[in-house]
Amino acid sequence: MHQSTASTSLRDAVCRLVPLIPAGYVCTYGQIAAYADSPKAARQVGMVLAGLPEATLIPWQRVINAQGAISPRSKPGAAEMQRILLEEEGISFRSDGTIDLRKHLWHPESIPQ
DNA sequence: ATTCTGACTTGGG
DNA sequence: CCCCAAGCCAGAA
pLDDT at position A3, please? 41
CA A66 → C1' B11, Å? Answer: 14
Residue A79 CB-density burial (10 A; 0-12 exposed, 13-18 middle, 19+ buried): middle
Q: What is chain A's pLDDT, residue by residue, as a tens digit (113 residues)?
A: 444 444 469 999 999 999 999 999 999 999 999 999 999 999 999 999 999 999 999 999 999 999 999 999 999 999 999 999 999 999 999 999 999 999 999 999 889 88
The fold of A3-104 is: Arc Repressor Mutant, subunit A (1.10.10)
Please give the pLDDT value at position A1. 46
- Is strand C in 7 Å reach of the CB of A41? yes
Residue ranges in A18-61 assigned as alpha helix (H): 29-35, 42-50
Position A105 scores a pLDDT of 98
Confirm whether any atom of chain C, the nucleic acid strand, is less than 7 Å from CB of A94. Answer: no
Bases along strand C below 7 A from a protein CB: 2, 7-11
Of the candidates A20, A22, A23, the one whose C-alpha atom is nearest the C-alpha of residue A32 is A20
CA A89 to C1' B3 (Å) is: 42
